[in-house]
Amino acid sequence: MHLELDHIIGSQDYQGYTDVKLQNGYTDPSMIREVLSYSILEQYMDCPKANFSNVYINGTLRGLYSNAENINKKFNGDHYYMSNESFFKCNQLEEQVLALHLIHI
């Protein structure tokens, strides 16, 4: 789930972040792969920050999710010299395959 905090009111953020990307661990029964892999990877290269989040909706706990930083102009500005140059990112193939599988069910 990708939440844009500044979608309606342009200047909203949470601790400097305007996007929140939550994963429910549907394809990862251990629910640790994404956070663990970024934790290891950050020792060798620039990568998104990741952690775990308890998600509450209207005061009710909805579950534990992994949260990963979105790769966008803010990420590029934090890690590289410029944030306004072109950059490319690709969606994971397994998400597309899973979406197609769910459509055919």
The pLDDT tens digits for 68-105 are 887 777 777 777 777 676 666 666 655 544 444 445 44
0.85 surpassed by pTM: no
Q: What's the distance, Cα to Cα, between the start and end of the chain in Å?
A: 21
Distance CA 51, CA 69 (A): 9
The pLDDT tens digits for 5-62 are 776 777 777 777 778 788 888 888 888 888 999 899 999 988 888 989 898 989 999 9
Phi (first) and psi of residue 53, to 5 degrees:
-135, 130
Domain boundaries, the chain: 2-104
User: What is 61-98 written as a DSSP string?
Assistant: EEEEEEEE---SHHHHHHHSS-SSS-------HHHHHH
CB 91 within 8 A of CB 98: no
